[in-house]
Structure 1
Amino acid sequence: MNDAGQRPRRGIGHSTNLVGRPSEWLASCAFNDAAVPLHIWGVVEMNPSLFTMLAQADDLAEAGEAFSSYMMAMFGLDPEQHAAASAGQRRFRSSFLRLIQGWSFDSNGPEGAVLKGWVESRFGLCPSFHKEIIEHVASRAWTTYVEEKMSSRFHNNAIWVQLDLLFEFCQWAIRRFVCPGETHLTLYRGVNAFDEHWIVDRTARREAVIRLNNLVSFSSDRDTAGCFGDTILTARIPVSKILFFNSLLSSHALKGEGEYLVIGGEYRVSVDYV
Protein backbone atom coordinates (compact mmCIF):
# COMPACT_ATOMS: atom_id res chain seq x y z
CA MET A 1 0.00 0.00 0.00
CA ASN A 2 1.17 3.56 -0.63
CA ASP A 3 1.11 6.59 1.66
CA ALA A 4 -2.49 7.39 0.82
CA GLY A 5 -3.62 3.90 1.77
CA GLN A 6 -4.57 3.10 -1.80
CA ARG A 7 -3.46 0.16 -3.90
CA PRO A 8 -0.33 1.28 -5.79
CA ARG A 9 -0.60 1.80 -9.52
CA ARG A 10 0.99 -0.85 -11.69
CA GLY A 11 2.80 -0.36 -14.95
CA ILE A 12 1.59 -1.51 -18.34
CA GLY A 13 3.58 -4.40 -19.74
CA HIS A 14 3.40 -7.42 -21.99
CA SER A 15 4.93 -10.88 -22.01
CA THR A 16 6.89 -10.65 -25.25
CA ASN A 17 10.49 -9.46 -25.43
CA LEU A 18 13.79 -10.25 -27.14
CA VAL A 19 15.92 -11.13 -24.10
CA GLY A 20 14.42 -14.51 -23.21
CA ARG A 21 13.45 -13.60 -19.65
CA PRO A 22 9.91 -13.06 -18.28
CA SER A 23 9.05 -9.36 -18.58
CA GLU A 24 7.34 -9.34 -15.19
CA TRP A 25 10.53 -10.63 -13.59
CA LEU A 26 12.67 -8.07 -15.43
CA ALA A 27 10.51 -5.31 -13.94
CA SER A 28 10.71 -6.65 -10.39
CA CYS A 29 12.93 -6.05 -7.38
CA ALA A 30 13.66 -9.78 -7.43
CA PHE A 31 15.54 -9.37 -10.71
CA ASN A 32 17.33 -6.22 -9.55
CA ASP A 33 18.43 -7.93 -6.32
CA ALA A 34 19.88 -10.94 -8.14
CA ALA A 35 20.34 -9.79 -11.72
CA VAL A 36 21.67 -11.97 -14.51
CA PRO A 37 23.29 -10.88 -17.80
CA LEU A 38 20.87 -9.86 -20.56
CA HIS A 39 21.41 -10.17 -24.30
CA ILE A 40 19.14 -9.25 -27.19
CA TRP A 41 18.60 -12.28 -29.36
CA GLY A 42 20.85 -12.55 -32.38
CA VAL A 43 22.74 -9.27 -32.08
CA VAL A 44 26.14 -10.73 -31.20
CA GLU A 45 25.69 -13.65 -33.59
CA MET A 46 24.71 -11.39 -36.51
CA ASN A 47 27.61 -8.98 -35.99
CA PRO A 48 30.70 -11.17 -35.43
CA SER A 49 33.07 -8.70 -37.11
CA LEU A 50 32.17 -5.99 -34.57
CA PHE A 51 32.97 -8.16 -31.59
CA THR A 52 36.15 -9.43 -33.23
CA MET A 53 37.26 -5.79 -33.55
CA LEU A 54 36.28 -5.06 -29.95
CA ALA A 55 38.26 -8.03 -28.65
CA GLN A 56 41.42 -6.41 -30.03
CA ALA A 57 40.90 -3.12 -28.13
CA ASP A 58 43.32 -2.33 -25.32
CA ASP A 59 41.08 0.18 -23.53
CA LEU A 60 37.60 1.73 -23.58
CA ALA A 61 38.60 4.61 -25.85
CA GLU A 62 39.92 2.23 -28.49
CA ALA A 63 36.83 0.07 -28.21
CA GLY A 64 34.64 3.15 -28.62
CA GLU A 65 36.46 4.10 -31.80
CA ALA A 66 35.96 0.60 -33.19
CA PHE A 67 32.25 0.69 -32.37
CA SER A 68 31.81 4.15 -33.93
CA SER A 69 33.60 3.03 -37.09
CA TYR A 70 31.38 -0.03 -37.35
CA MET A 71 28.20 2.05 -36.89
CA MET A 72 29.39 4.53 -39.54
CA ALA A 73 29.96 1.71 -42.02
CA MET A 74 26.67 -0.03 -41.26
CA PHE A 75 24.32 2.96 -40.99
CA GLY A 76 26.07 5.88 -42.70
CA LEU A 77 26.41 7.99 -39.57
CA ASP A 78 29.43 10.02 -40.72
CA PRO A 79 29.61 13.83 -40.22
CA GLU A 80 29.70 14.48 -43.98
CA GLN A 81 26.36 12.75 -44.43
CA HIS A 82 24.90 14.86 -41.60
CA ALA A 83 26.18 18.04 -43.26
CA ALA A 84 24.72 17.04 -46.63
CA ALA A 85 21.34 16.40 -45.04
CA SER A 86 21.43 19.76 -43.26
CA ALA A 87 22.10 21.44 -46.61
CA GLY A 88 19.01 19.76 -48.05
CA GLN A 89 20.91 17.46 -50.40
CA ARG A 90 19.37 14.29 -48.97
CA ARG A 91 17.37 13.03 -46.04
CA PHE A 92 19.26 12.67 -42.80
CA ARG A 93 19.58 9.07 -41.64
CA SER A 94 18.32 8.48 -38.11
CA SER A 95 21.08 7.97 -35.55
CA PHE A 96 21.15 6.57 -32.03
CA LEU A 97 23.34 9.56 -31.06
CA ARG A 98 20.60 11.93 -32.18
CA LEU A 99 18.14 10.08 -29.92
CA ILE A 100 20.48 10.34 -26.95
CA GLN A 101 21.04 14.02 -27.62
CA GLY A 102 17.27 14.57 -27.78
CA TRP A 103 16.85 12.66 -24.52
CA SER A 104 19.38 14.94 -22.82
CA PHE A 105 17.25 17.97 -23.69
CA ASP A 106 13.84 16.45 -22.95
CA SER A 107 13.24 12.82 -22.02
CA ASN A 108 9.55 13.34 -22.79
CA GLY A 109 10.18 14.54 -26.35
CA PRO A 110 9.84 12.47 -29.55
CA GLU A 111 13.39 11.08 -29.21
CA GLY A 112 12.54 9.95 -25.69
CA ALA A 113 9.44 8.19 -26.99
CA VAL A 114 11.53 6.24 -29.52
CA LEU A 115 13.97 5.16 -26.81
CA LYS A 116 11.11 4.12 -24.52
CA GLY A 117 9.56 2.26 -27.45
CA TRP A 118 12.80 0.34 -27.95
CA VAL A 119 12.76 -0.71 -24.27
CA GLU A 120 9.13 -1.80 -24.66
CA SER A 121 9.97 -3.88 -27.74
CA ARG A 122 13.14 -5.51 -26.44
CA PHE A 123 12.35 -5.95 -22.71
CA GLY A 124 8.55 -5.96 -22.59
CA LEU A 125 8.47 -2.97 -20.22
CA CYS A 126 6.10 -0.19 -21.24
CA PRO A 127 6.60 3.41 -20.10
CA SER A 128 4.72 4.61 -17.06
CA PHE A 129 5.24 8.28 -17.95
CA HIS A 130 5.53 10.25 -21.16
CA LYS A 131 4.56 13.90 -20.75
CA GLU A 132 2.02 12.63 -18.21
CA ILE A 133 1.22 9.47 -16.25
CA ILE A 134 0.33 6.46 -18.42
CA GLU A 135 -2.01 4.11 -16.57
CA HIS A 136 -3.81 2.28 -19.39
CA VAL A 137 -3.65 1.89 -23.16
CA ALA A 138 -6.95 3.70 -23.72
CA SER A 139 -5.55 6.97 -22.41
CA ARG A 140 -4.52 10.13 -24.23
CA ALA A 141 -1.03 9.76 -22.75
CA TRP A 142 -0.61 6.30 -24.32
CA THR A 143 -1.83 7.55 -27.71
CA THR A 144 0.65 10.44 -27.65
CA TYR A 145 3.49 8.08 -26.73
CA VAL A 146 2.64 5.61 -29.54
CA GLU A 147 2.38 8.40 -32.14
CA GLU A 148 5.78 9.79 -31.16
CA LYS A 149 7.61 6.47 -30.81
CA MET A 150 6.55 5.46 -34.35
CA SER A 151 7.43 8.79 -36.00
CA SER A 152 8.80 8.09 -39.48
CA ARG A 153 11.58 10.65 -39.11
CA PHE A 154 13.29 8.37 -36.58
CA HIS A 155 12.61 5.01 -38.25
CA ASN A 156 14.28 5.42 -41.62
CA ASN A 157 17.59 3.79 -40.71
CA ALA A 158 16.88 0.65 -38.63
CA ILE A 159 17.02 2.77 -35.48
CA TRP A 160 16.05 -0.03 -33.11
CA VAL A 161 18.78 -2.23 -34.58
CA GLN A 162 21.22 0.60 -33.86
CA LEU A 163 20.02 0.64 -30.26
CA ASP A 164 20.37 -3.16 -30.06
CA LEU A 165 24.03 -2.80 -31.05
CA LEU A 166 24.52 0.07 -28.59
CA PHE A 167 23.12 -2.03 -25.74
CA GLU A 168 25.31 -5.02 -26.55
CA PHE A 169 28.39 -2.82 -26.90
CA CYS A 170 27.62 -1.12 -23.59
CA GLN A 171 27.22 -4.49 -21.85
CA TRP A 172 30.49 -5.71 -23.38
CA ALA A 173 32.37 -2.54 -22.37
CA ILE A 174 31.09 -2.58 -18.78
CA ARG A 175 32.20 -6.14 -18.24
CA ARG A 176 35.51 -5.77 -20.09
CA PHE A 177 36.76 -2.34 -18.97
CA VAL A 178 34.46 -0.47 -16.58
CA CYS A 179 33.64 -2.85 -13.74
CA PRO A 180 34.64 -6.43 -14.60
CA GLY A 181 33.20 -8.95 -12.19
CA GLU A 182 30.67 -6.50 -10.73
CA THR A 183 26.92 -7.11 -10.97
CA HIS A 184 25.67 -3.74 -9.68
CA LEU A 185 26.58 -0.06 -9.53
CA THR A 186 25.37 2.41 -6.91
CA LEU A 187 23.80 5.33 -8.77
CA TYR A 188 21.82 8.44 -7.84
CA ARG A 189 18.80 10.27 -9.22
CA GLY A 190 17.61 13.73 -8.22
CA VAL A 191 13.85 14.44 -8.26
CA ASN A 192 11.61 17.25 -7.05
CA ALA A 193 8.43 15.17 -6.92
CA PHE A 194 7.25 11.62 -7.41
CA ASP A 195 4.92 12.35 -10.33
CA GLU A 196 6.96 10.12 -12.65
CA HIS A 197 7.75 7.50 -9.99
CA TRP A 198 5.03 5.36 -8.50
CA ILE A 199 5.57 4.49 -4.84
CA VAL A 200 4.85 0.78 -4.54
CA ASP A 201 5.76 0.39 -0.87
CA ARG A 202 7.26 2.44 1.96
CA THR A 203 9.60 -0.03 3.62
CA ALA A 204 11.04 2.46 6.13
CA ARG A 205 11.06 6.20 6.79
CA ARG A 206 13.73 6.80 4.16
CA GLU A 207 13.43 3.64 2.11
CA ALA A 208 10.89 2.69 -0.52
CA VAL A 209 10.13 0.48 -3.47
CA ILE A 210 9.28 2.66 -6.45
CA ARG A 211 8.24 1.95 -10.01
CA LEU A 212 10.60 3.85 -12.30
CA ASN A 213 9.77 4.69 -15.89
CA ASN A 214 10.92 2.05 -18.38
CA LEU A 215 13.98 4.20 -19.18
CA VAL A 216 15.46 6.72 -16.73
CA SER A 217 18.63 8.73 -16.14
CA PHE A 218 20.88 8.21 -13.13
CA SER A 219 24.22 9.73 -12.16
CA SER A 220 27.32 8.16 -10.66
CA ASP A 221 27.89 11.39 -8.71
CA ARG A 222 25.54 12.30 -5.85
CA ASP A 223 26.27 16.03 -6.06
CA THR A 224 25.47 16.03 -9.78
CA ALA A 225 22.17 14.25 -9.10
CA GLY A 226 21.36 16.97 -6.57
CA CYS A 227 21.38 19.53 -9.39
CA PHE A 228 18.24 17.89 -10.80
CA GLY A 229 16.15 17.80 -7.63
CA ASP A 230 16.22 18.25 -3.88
CA THR A 231 15.32 14.60 -3.22
CA ILE A 232 18.05 12.05 -3.93
CA LEU A 233 17.16 8.47 -4.78
CA THR A 234 20.01 6.00 -4.29
CA ALA A 235 19.72 2.59 -5.93
CA ARG A 236 21.81 -0.46 -6.70
CA ILE A 237 21.50 -0.71 -10.47
CA PRO A 238 22.20 -4.04 -12.22
CA VAL A 239 24.86 -3.51 -14.86
CA SER A 240 22.73 -5.68 -17.17
CA LYS A 241 20.14 -2.86 -17.21
CA ILE A 242 22.48 -0.11 -18.43
CA LEU A 243 21.98 1.07 -22.02
CA PHE A 244 24.50 3.93 -22.15
CA PHE A 245 26.83 6.01 -20.00
CA ASN A 246 28.76 9.19 -20.69
CA SER A 247 32.26 7.80 -21.03
CA LEU A 248 31.18 4.95 -23.31
CA LEU A 249 31.84 7.01 -26.46
CA SER A 250 33.96 10.11 -26.98
CA SER A 251 31.10 11.61 -29.03
CA HIS A 252 28.46 11.16 -26.31
CA ALA A 253 25.63 13.66 -26.13
CA LEU A 254 24.33 13.41 -22.57
CA LYS A 255 24.51 16.64 -20.58
CA GLY A 256 24.86 15.34 -17.04
CA GLU A 257 28.34 14.35 -15.88
CA GLY A 258 28.50 10.68 -15.00
CA GLU A 259 25.03 10.10 -16.51
CA TYR A 260 23.69 6.60 -17.12
CA LEU A 261 20.62 5.51 -19.09
CA VAL A 262 19.01 2.69 -17.13
CA ILE A 263 16.21 0.23 -17.93
CA GLY A 264 13.49 0.80 -15.34
CA GLY A 265 10.99 -1.25 -13.35
CA GLU A 266 10.58 -1.57 -9.59
CA TYR A 267 13.64 -0.63 -7.52
CA ARG A 268 14.48 -0.48 -3.84
CA VAL A 269 15.77 3.03 -3.15
CA SER A 270 16.91 5.10 -0.22
CA VAL A 271 15.43 8.59 -0.10
CA ASP A 272 17.55 11.49 1.14
CA TYR A 273 17.33 15.25 0.88
CA VAL A 274 19.85 17.78 -0.37
Structure 2
Amino acid sequence: MRQTKLDCKVLDNWEGLEIELPSHVQQRFNRCNLTADILGSLAYQKHPVPLQIVGTADLHHRLFKHLDTIKKKRLRAEYFQDYMTVHFTLEAPEEAGYTPGSRYQRIKTDYRRILRGWLFNPDGREAAVIKGWVLSRFGLLPRWHDGVLDDCHSPAYQKYLQMQANGLYNTNALESQLDMVYAYCQYELKKRFPGQIHWMLYRGVNTVDQYEILAKGPKGRHVVLLNNLNSFTEDRDRADEFGDYIMEMEIPFYKVFCYNALFPGLLKGEEEVMVVGGLYDVRICTV
Protein backbone atom coordinates (compact mmCIF):
# COMPACT_ATOMS: atom_id res chain seq x y z
CA MET A 1 0.00 0.00 0.00
CA ARG A 2 1.03 3.66 0.06
CA GLN A 3 0.79 6.89 1.97
CA THR A 4 -2.20 8.97 0.90
CA LYS A 5 -1.89 11.81 -1.59
CA LEU A 6 -5.44 12.94 -0.78
CA ASP A 7 -6.25 15.90 1.45
CA CYS A 8 -6.88 14.70 5.00
CA LYS A 9 -9.28 16.54 7.31
CA VAL A 10 -8.76 16.56 11.08
CA LEU A 11 -12.16 16.74 12.75
CA ASP A 12 -13.36 17.03 16.33
CA ASN A 13 -17.04 16.64 15.47
CA TRP A 14 -17.47 13.26 13.82
CA GLU A 15 -21.28 13.15 13.75
CA GLY A 16 -22.97 14.07 10.50
CA LEU A 17 -19.69 13.58 8.63
CA GLU A 18 -20.12 13.84 4.86
CA ILE A 19 -17.24 12.84 2.60
CA GLU A 20 -17.90 11.78 -0.97
CA LEU A 21 -16.18 8.96 -2.81
CA PRO A 22 -13.54 10.65 -5.02
CA SER A 23 -14.55 10.66 -8.67
CA HIS A 24 -11.19 9.31 -9.85
CA VAL A 25 -11.67 6.00 -8.00
CA GLN A 26 -15.01 5.10 -9.60
CA GLN A 27 -16.31 4.46 -13.06
CA ARG A 28 -19.70 5.56 -14.31
CA PHE A 29 -21.08 2.19 -15.34
CA ASN A 30 -21.21 -1.14 -13.55
CA ARG A 31 -23.37 -4.27 -13.45
CA CYS A 32 -24.90 -3.63 -10.05
CA ASN A 33 -28.21 -2.19 -8.88
CA LEU A 34 -26.40 0.77 -7.24
CA THR A 35 -23.87 3.17 -8.69
CA ALA A 36 -20.29 3.21 -7.42
CA ASP A 37 -20.63 6.59 -5.70
CA ILE A 38 -23.47 5.21 -3.58
CA LEU A 39 -22.19 1.73 -2.72
CA GLY A 40 -18.71 3.12 -2.06
CA SER A 41 -19.92 5.87 0.28
CA LEU A 42 -19.87 6.27 4.05
CA ALA A 43 -23.66 6.48 4.02
CA TYR A 44 -23.83 3.01 2.47
CA GLN A 45 -21.58 1.59 5.17
CA LYS A 46 -23.97 2.83 7.83
CA HIS A 47 -27.24 2.19 5.99
CA PRO A 48 -26.63 -0.63 3.50
CA VAL A 49 -29.15 -2.25 1.18
CA PRO A 50 -28.69 -5.49 -0.79
CA LEU A 51 -26.41 -5.41 -3.82
CA GLN A 52 -27.42 -7.46 -6.83
CA ILE A 53 -25.36 -8.23 -9.91
CA VAL A 54 -27.62 -7.86 -12.92
CA GLY A 55 -29.03 -11.15 -14.21
CA THR A 56 -27.48 -13.54 -11.69
CA ALA A 57 -30.53 -14.14 -9.48
CA ASP A 58 -32.90 -14.54 -12.43
CA LEU A 59 -30.68 -16.95 -14.33
CA HIS A 60 -29.93 -19.20 -11.35
CA HIS A 61 -33.14 -18.91 -9.32
CA ARG A 62 -33.71 -22.69 -9.39
CA LEU A 63 -30.35 -23.28 -7.72
CA PHE A 64 -31.15 -21.09 -4.74
CA LYS A 65 -34.66 -22.47 -4.50
CA HIS A 66 -33.20 -25.97 -4.21
CA LEU A 67 -30.57 -24.84 -1.68
CA ASP A 68 -33.48 -23.80 0.58
CA THR A 69 -34.37 -27.49 0.90
CA ILE A 70 -30.89 -28.46 2.17
CA LYS A 71 -30.47 -28.00 5.91
CA LYS A 72 -26.75 -28.68 6.39
CA LYS A 73 -24.23 -26.06 5.34
CA ARG A 74 -21.64 -28.55 4.10
CA LEU A 75 -24.19 -30.27 1.88
CA ARG A 76 -25.28 -26.92 0.44
CA ALA A 77 -21.65 -26.10 -0.35
CA GLU A 78 -21.21 -29.47 -2.06
CA TYR A 79 -24.39 -29.00 -4.09
CA PHE A 80 -23.32 -25.50 -5.13
CA GLN A 81 -19.93 -26.74 -6.32
CA ASP A 82 -21.57 -29.59 -8.22
CA TYR A 83 -23.92 -27.08 -9.84
CA MET A 84 -20.97 -24.91 -10.88
CA THR A 85 -19.20 -27.93 -12.37
CA VAL A 86 -22.22 -28.83 -14.48
CA HIS A 87 -23.41 -25.34 -15.43
CA PHE A 88 -19.95 -24.17 -16.54
CA THR A 89 -18.88 -27.62 -17.87
CA LEU A 90 -15.76 -27.47 -15.70
CA GLU A 91 -15.02 -31.17 -16.19
CA ALA A 92 -15.93 -31.17 -19.90
CA PRO A 93 -14.19 -28.07 -21.31
CA GLU A 94 -14.60 -29.28 -24.88
CA GLU A 95 -18.33 -28.61 -24.52
CA ALA A 96 -17.47 -24.95 -23.96
CA GLY A 97 -15.38 -24.80 -27.13
CA TYR A 98 -12.01 -25.89 -25.78
CA THR A 99 -9.66 -27.36 -28.39
CA PRO A 100 -7.06 -29.82 -27.02
CA GLY A 101 -3.51 -29.01 -28.01
CA SER A 102 -3.99 -25.23 -28.05
CA ARG A 103 -0.98 -23.10 -27.17
CA TYR A 104 -2.25 -21.75 -23.84
CA GLN A 105 -3.52 -24.56 -21.62
CA ARG A 106 -5.51 -22.53 -19.07
CA ILE A 107 -8.95 -24.09 -19.40
CA LYS A 108 -8.66 -25.60 -15.90
CA THR A 109 -8.58 -22.12 -14.38
CA ASP A 110 -11.90 -21.74 -12.59
CA TYR A 111 -13.33 -19.91 -9.57
CA ARG A 112 -11.63 -22.32 -7.16
CA ARG A 113 -8.18 -21.64 -8.55
CA ILE A 114 -8.85 -17.90 -8.58
CA LEU A 115 -9.87 -17.91 -4.91
CA ARG A 116 -6.85 -19.97 -3.91
CA GLY A 117 -4.63 -17.62 -5.91
CA TRP A 118 -5.91 -14.63 -3.97
CA LEU A 119 -5.14 -16.34 -0.67
CA PHE A 120 -1.64 -17.17 -1.89
CA ASN A 121 -0.80 -13.74 -3.34
CA PRO A 122 -3.16 -10.71 -3.34
CA ASP A 123 -0.84 -9.06 -5.89
CA GLY A 124 -0.77 -12.01 -8.28
CA ARG A 125 -2.49 -12.86 -11.55
CA GLU A 126 -5.55 -14.42 -9.94
CA ALA A 127 -5.96 -11.40 -7.66
CA ALA A 128 -5.81 -9.12 -10.71
CA VAL A 129 -8.73 -11.07 -12.17
CA ILE A 130 -10.84 -10.57 -9.03
CA LYS A 131 -10.00 -6.85 -8.81
CA GLY A 132 -11.02 -6.50 -12.45
CA TRP A 133 -14.27 -8.31 -11.64
CA VAL A 134 -14.96 -5.87 -8.77
CA LEU A 135 -14.41 -2.95 -11.15
CA SER A 136 -16.75 -4.44 -13.75
CA ARG A 137 -19.53 -5.35 -11.31
CA PHE A 138 -19.34 -2.56 -8.72
CA GLY A 139 -17.53 0.24 -10.54
CA LEU A 140 -14.72 0.67 -7.98
CA LEU A 141 -11.24 1.06 -9.44
CA PRO A 142 -8.30 -0.79 -7.89
CA ARG A 143 -5.92 1.45 -5.96
CA TRP A 144 -3.05 -0.97 -5.54
CA HIS A 145 -1.75 -4.09 -7.25
CA ASP A 146 1.94 -4.70 -6.62
CA GLY A 147 2.28 -0.92 -6.94
CA VAL A 148 0.26 2.29 -6.90
CA LEU A 149 -2.47 2.42 -9.55
CA ASP A 150 -3.04 6.20 -9.59
CA ASP A 151 -2.12 6.66 -13.26
CA CYS A 152 -3.60 4.44 -15.98
CA HIS A 153 -0.49 5.09 -18.10
CA SER A 154 1.99 4.06 -15.40
CA PRO A 155 4.04 0.84 -15.65
CA ALA A 156 2.27 -0.50 -12.54
CA TYR A 157 -1.17 -0.03 -14.07
CA GLN A 158 -0.12 -1.55 -17.39
CA LYS A 159 1.33 -4.52 -15.52
CA TYR A 160 -1.96 -4.94 -13.63
CA LEU A 161 -3.96 -4.87 -16.90
CA GLN A 162 -1.64 -7.44 -18.46
CA MET A 163 -1.98 -9.74 -15.45
CA GLN A 164 -5.74 -9.42 -15.56
CA ALA A 165 -5.89 -10.17 -19.29
CA ASN A 166 -3.57 -13.17 -18.90
CA GLY A 167 -5.70 -14.43 -16.03
CA LEU A 168 -8.91 -14.30 -18.10
CA TYR A 169 -7.47 -15.55 -21.38
CA ASN A 170 -8.70 -18.96 -22.55
CA THR A 171 -10.95 -19.46 -19.53
CA ASN A 172 -14.62 -20.39 -19.44
CA ALA A 173 -16.94 -17.53 -18.35
CA LEU A 174 -14.67 -16.91 -15.38
CA GLU A 175 -16.25 -13.60 -14.38
CA SER A 176 -19.70 -15.20 -14.45
CA GLN A 177 -18.35 -17.88 -12.12
CA LEU A 178 -17.27 -15.12 -9.72
CA ASP A 179 -20.79 -13.64 -9.96
CA MET A 180 -22.05 -16.94 -8.62
CA VAL A 181 -19.50 -17.02 -5.79
CA TYR A 182 -20.73 -13.60 -4.65
CA ALA A 183 -24.39 -14.63 -4.90
CA TYR A 184 -23.79 -17.84 -2.95
CA CYS A 185 -21.77 -15.95 -0.32
CA GLN A 186 -24.68 -13.56 0.20
CA TYR A 187 -27.09 -16.50 0.46
CA GLU A 188 -25.01 -18.19 3.16
CA LEU A 189 -24.41 -14.99 5.12
CA LYS A 190 -28.17 -14.54 5.50
CA LYS A 191 -28.38 -18.00 7.02
CA ARG A 192 -25.34 -17.54 9.25
CA PHE A 193 -26.34 -14.10 10.55
CA PRO A 194 -30.14 -13.86 10.31
CA GLY A 195 -31.42 -10.34 10.82
CA GLN A 196 -27.97 -8.73 10.83
CA ILE A 197 -26.56 -6.34 8.25
CA HIS A 198 -23.04 -5.64 9.62
CA TRP A 199 -20.04 -7.79 10.45
CA MET A 200 -17.22 -6.55 12.71
CA LEU A 201 -13.97 -7.38 10.96
CA TYR A 202 -10.29 -6.69 11.62
CA ARG A 203 -7.09 -6.12 9.68
CA GLY A 204 -3.56 -5.92 11.02
CA VAL A 205 -1.38 -3.15 9.52
CA ASN A 206 2.20 -2.09 10.10
CA THR A 207 1.74 1.66 9.61
CA VAL A 208 -1.38 3.79 9.49
CA ASP A 209 -0.13 6.17 6.80
CA GLN A 210 0.15 3.39 4.24
CA TYR A 211 -3.57 3.87 3.59
CA GLU A 212 -5.47 6.64 1.82
CA ILE A 213 -6.92 8.57 4.75
CA LEU A 214 -9.45 11.30 4.04
CA ALA A 215 -10.27 12.32 7.61
CA LYS A 216 -9.10 11.78 11.18
CA GLY A 217 -11.25 12.07 14.26
CA PRO A 218 -11.24 11.34 17.98
CA LYS A 219 -10.53 7.96 19.58
CA GLY A 220 -8.64 6.59 16.57
CA ARG A 221 -11.45 7.05 14.07
CA HIS A 222 -10.49 7.53 10.44
CA VAL A 223 -12.20 7.74 7.07
CA VAL A 224 -10.19 5.42 4.85
CA LEU A 225 -10.40 4.77 1.11
CA LEU A 226 -9.71 1.07 0.69
CA ASN A 227 -8.54 -0.85 -2.33
CA ASN A 228 -11.43 -2.21 -4.38
CA LEU A 229 -10.91 -5.64 -2.76
CA ASN A 230 -9.32 -6.28 0.64
CA SER A 231 -8.55 -9.06 3.09
CA PHE A 232 -9.95 -8.90 6.62
CA THR A 233 -10.46 -11.44 9.37
CA GLU A 234 -13.26 -12.06 11.84
CA ASP A 235 -10.69 -13.07 14.48
CA ARG A 236 -9.15 -10.05 16.22
CA ASP A 237 -6.39 -12.14 17.78
CA ARG A 238 -5.39 -13.33 14.32
CA ALA A 239 -5.22 -9.74 13.08
CA ASP A 240 -2.72 -9.02 15.88
CA GLU A 241 -0.21 -11.23 14.10
CA PHE A 242 -0.08 -9.05 10.98
CA GLY A 243 0.91 -5.63 12.25
CA ASP A 244 1.41 -3.13 15.04
CA TYR A 245 -2.03 -1.59 14.48
CA ILE A 246 -5.48 -3.04 14.00
CA MET A 247 -8.22 -1.63 11.79
CA GLU A 248 -11.67 -2.33 13.22
CA MET A 249 -14.58 -1.91 10.83
CA GLU A 250 -18.26 -2.68 10.65
CA ILE A 251 -18.61 -4.14 7.17
CA PRO A 252 -22.00 -4.39 5.46
CA PHE A 253 -22.62 -8.04 4.66
CA TYR A 254 -23.51 -7.01 1.13
CA LYS A 255 -19.87 -5.99 0.50
CA VAL A 256 -18.45 -9.39 1.43
CA PHE A 257 -17.40 -11.26 -1.70
CA CYS A 258 -16.21 -14.50 -0.10
CA TYR A 259 -14.89 -15.93 3.17
CA ASN A 260 -12.87 -19.04 3.99
CA ALA A 261 -15.62 -21.03 5.68
CA LEU A 262 -17.91 -20.62 2.67
CA PHE A 263 -16.44 -23.73 1.03
CA PRO A 264 -15.34 -26.16 3.78
CA GLY A 265 -12.05 -27.82 2.87
CA LEU A 266 -11.52 -25.75 -0.28
CA LEU A 267 -9.96 -22.59 1.14
CA LYS A 268 -7.40 -22.54 3.90
CA GLY A 269 -6.25 -19.29 5.52
CA GLU A 270 -6.44 -17.04 8.54
CA GLU A 271 -10.27 -16.86 8.78
CA GLU A 272 -9.98 -14.51 5.82
CA VAL A 273 -12.91 -12.42 4.59
CA MET A 274 -12.71 -10.73 1.17
CA VAL A 275 -14.31 -7.29 1.30
CA VAL A 276 -15.26 -4.91 -1.53
CA GLY A 277 -13.72 -1.47 -1.02
CA GLY A 278 -14.80 2.16 -1.03
CA LEU A 279 -14.94 4.63 1.85
CA TYR A 280 -15.11 3.29 5.40
CA ASP A 281 -15.37 4.75 8.86
CA VAL A 282 -12.78 2.71 10.77
CA ARG A 283 -11.17 2.69 14.19
CA ILE A 284 -7.41 2.23 14.20
CA CYS A 285 -5.82 1.17 17.47
CA THR A 286 -2.53 -0.27 18.67
CA VAL A 287 -2.17 -4.00 19.25
For the Cα contact (< 8 Å) 1:29–1:268, is it kept in 2? Answer: yes
The CA deviation at 1:103 is 0.9
For the Cα contact (< 8 Å) 1:114–1:154, is it kept in 2? Answer: no
Alpha carbons of 1:155 and 1:122: their partners in 2 closer, same or farther (altered >3 Å)?
farther
Question: Paired residue for 1:66?
Answer: 79
Residue type at the aligned position of 2:7: R
Alpha carbons of 1:40 and 1:269: their partners in 2 closer, same or farther (altered >3 Å)?
same
The CA deviation at 1:4 is 9.0
Question: Paired residue for 1:7?
Answer: 7
Residue 180 of structure 1 pairs with residue 214 of structure 2? no
Supply the distance in 2 between the matched residues of 1:190 and 1:120 (Cα, whole angstroms): 25
Residue 150 of structure 1 pairs with residue 165 of structure 2? yes
Deviations 1:21-48 (A, max 9, x none): 1211111111111110011111111113
Question: Paired residue for 1:225?
Answer: 239
TM-score (norm 2): 0.85
The one of 35, 54, 59 equivalent to 1:41 is 54
Percent of matched pairs sharing the same residue = 33
The CA deviation at 1:91 is 5.0
Alpha carbons of 1:4 and 1:46: their partners in 2 closer, same or farther (altered >3 Å)?
closer
Supply the distance in 2 between the matched residues of 1:96 and 1:41 (Cα, whole angstroms): 19
Question: Paired residue for 2:185?
Answer: 170
1:71-82 matches, cutoff 5 A: 71-77=84-90
For the Cα contact (< 8 Å) 2:245–2:284, is it kept in 1? Answer: yes
For the Cα contact (< 8 Å) 1:212–1:267, is it kept in 2? Answer: yes
Alpha carbons of 1:243 and 1:70: their partners in 2 closer, same or farther (altered >3 Å)?
same
Question: Paired residue for 1:210?
Answer: 224
Supply the distance in 2 between the matched residues of 1:67 and 1:134 (Cα, whole angstroms): 35
Task: Count residues in correspondence.
Answer: 264
1:261-272 matches, cutoff 5 A: 261-272=274-285
Question: Paired residue for 1:84?
Answer: none
Which ranges of structure 2 fall in alignment gaps of 5 or more residues? 9-20, 95-100
Alpha carbons of 1:106 and 1:13: their partners in 2 closer, same or farther (altered >3 Å)?
same
The one of 124, 135, 139 equivalent to 1:124 is 139
SS in 2 for 1:263: strand
The CA deviation at 1:214 is 0.3
Which of 150-159 and 245-254 deviates more?
Answer: 150-159
Supply the distance in 2 between the matched residues of 1:270 and 1:155 (Cα, whole angstroms): 43
SS in 1 for 2:280: strand
TM-score (norm 1): 0.88
Supply the distance in 1 between the matched residues of 2:149 and 2:116 (Cα, whole angstroms): 24
Question: Paired residue for 1:85?
Answer: none
Supply the distance in 1 between the matched residues of 2:170 and 2:52 (Cα, whole angstroms): 22
Residue type at the aligned position of 2:26: G
Supply the distance in 1 between the matched residues of 2:6 and 2:272 (Cα, whole angstroms): 34
The CA deviation at 1:166 is 0.6
Which ranges of structure 1 fall in alignment gaps of 5 or more residues? 82-87
